[in-house]
Amino acid sequence: MYDTFSRHLTMLSLVPVLPRKCTAGELREKLVAQGFDVHIRSVERDLQKLSHFGLTDDGAKPAGWSWVSRDRVPTLPPMSTENALVLELVRRHLGAMLPPRMLRQMERPFEEARRTLNLLGDAPLKRWTERVAVLPDGPPLATPEVAAGVLEAVGEALLRDRRLDVQYRALDRPRGRRYTLHPLGLVYRDGVFYLVATVNDYDDIRHFALQRMREARVLDETAGRPADFVLAEHLDGKRAFQWPHGETVRLELKVERWLAIHLEERCLAGDQVITPLRGDPERSRVTATVEATEQLYWWLRSLGTSVEVVKPARLRQRLADEVRQLAEVYR
């Protein structure tokens, strides 16, 4: 009795929702793959018995079976409201990071999570999804479009450790070139996907923006991988997405009061020190040991007259030169 009940529950979970469908033979193959020793005649009889749950057939020979509506698909046990909330937040904010194949497989759980939350009315957990948000740092730039099939091919190659054949156009080149890539990792930054990979038989690690791939094809050959490569170390230890990196400087700034308060909450470095300026209660001196990256320069430049770079002298001179050039542009 238990085996029959278990088989029925499994069958109900394997039948797709309209307009997709599956035949009794296809369903039997899936059941056998899950360990059920069942004859196709038994599957056909079971489908007829289970049709009152909301299953329908298309009348063809062999018949194709489907759920009439996604709302009729049962889930046992029912999804908890806590799990529904987690899945909804994953869909909203992490969906882009899931492999496309997995994302398709998660369509049903995501839909069930939304239905579960919709049934809560004005309950606290339902309100949570309406009262939290994630905002970009900077202007809302449009997300670049990735060519059809590229993200799926990249995800498949990463999952299976396979090489990729890609047509890629670098930012500074008018035409694309064909590369054989060995995928090492996928990074999502400011709405852009970057594939971390080596090229052909070279060992140097490079970054490829997916929107610049015109096509991508998974190859049968196993991808090579540097023995000491760890994506987290590549990103955090080597600061691979910050350039140039490696040079550490002692930064000294004069900042307005609001910026001093901001930096008390979000320190530049662990050794940061903020002291009021003598005779100028509206400004403070900030010192910290930081990496001299382009990100640091862009940040300082974005603050305008709210910050004055005192040291290092080279960075101060670079900003001063740009201010003079800007004055000429806006004259």
Considering the domain architecture, whether residues 266 and 298 belong to the same structural domain is answered as yes
pLDDT at 281: 86
The more confidently predicted of residues 164 and 203 is 164
The more confidently predicted of residues 244 and 205 is 205
Q: Is residue 241 part of a domain?
A: no
From residue 2, give the alpha-carbon distance in Å to each of 42, 48, 77. 16, 19, 16
Q: How does residue 124 score in pLDDT terms, banded at 50, 70 and 90?
A: confident
pLDDT at 238: 60
Q: Is residue 142 part of a domain?
A: no
Element housing 261 (H / E): helix 257-265
pLDDT at 261: 92
Q: What are the DSSP calls for 180-248, one per residue?
A: EEEEEEEEEETTEEEEEEEETT----EEEEGGGEEEEEEEEEEPP--TT--HHIIIIIS-TTSSS-S-E
Q: Which residue among 22, 55, 72 closes a domain? A: 72
pLDDT at 248: 87
Considering the domain architecture, whether residues 266 and 322 belong to the same structural domain is answered as yes
User: Mean pLDDT highest for which of 4-8, 126-130, 322-326?
Assistant: 322-326
Considering the domain architecture, whether residues 224 and 154 belong to the same structural domain is answered as yes
Question: Which residue in 271, 267, 269, 249 sits closest to 259, CA to CA?
Answer: 267
Question: 28 Cβ partners below 8 Å, 6+ apart?
Answer: 38, 39, 40, 43
CATH of the domain at 22: 1.10.10.10
pLDDT at 287: 95
Question: Which residue in 237, 167, 174, 159 sits closest to 205, CA to CA?
Answer: 237
Considering the domain architecture, whether residues 58 and 121 belong to the same structural domain is answered as no
The mean pLDDT of 71-76, rounded to a whole number, is 55
Coil, strand or helix: which one is 133?
Answer: coil
CATH of the domain at 303: 3.30.70.120
Range of the domain at 266: 248-329
Q: Is residue 144 part of a domain?
A: no
Considering the domain architecture, whether residues 155 and 224 belong to the same structural domain is answered as yes
Q: Is residue 298 part of a domain?
A: yes
Q: Which residue among 24, 52, 72 closes a domain? A: 72
pTM: 0.60
pLDDT at 243: 58
pLDDT at 72: 55
Considering the domain architecture, whether residues 181 and 111 belong to the same structural domain is answered as no
Domain count of the fold of the chain: 4
The more confidently predicted of residues 139 and 326 is 326
pLDDT at 184: 92
Considering the domain architecture, whether residues 220 and 257 belong to the same structural domain is answered as no
Across the chain, mean pLDDT equals 84
Considering the domain architecture, whether residues 265 and 319 belong to the same structural domain is answered as yes
Q: Which residue among 28, 46, 72 closes a domain? A: 72
Considering the domain architecture, whether residues 92 and 62 belong to the same structural domain is answered as no
pLDDT at 66: 86
Instruction: Return the axis-axis angle of helices 107-118 and 81-93, rounded to nearest 10°.
Output: 120
Q: Is residue 45 part of a domain?
A: yes
Considering the domain architecture, whether residues 189 and 223 belong to the same structural domain is answered as yes
CATH of the domain at 176: 2.30.30
Q: Is residue 139 part of a domain?
A: no
pLDDT tens for each residue of 25-69: 998 888 887 777 889 998 888 888 887 777 888 888 888 988 877
The mean pLDDT of 294-309, rounded to a whole number, is 90
Residue 55: beta bridge partners? 67
Q: Is residue 169 part of a domain?
A: yes
Q: CA torsion angle for 298, 302, 308, 313 (degrees, to 10)? A: 20
On the question of pLDDT at 236 being above 80, the answer is: no
Q: Is residue 238 part of a domain?
A: no
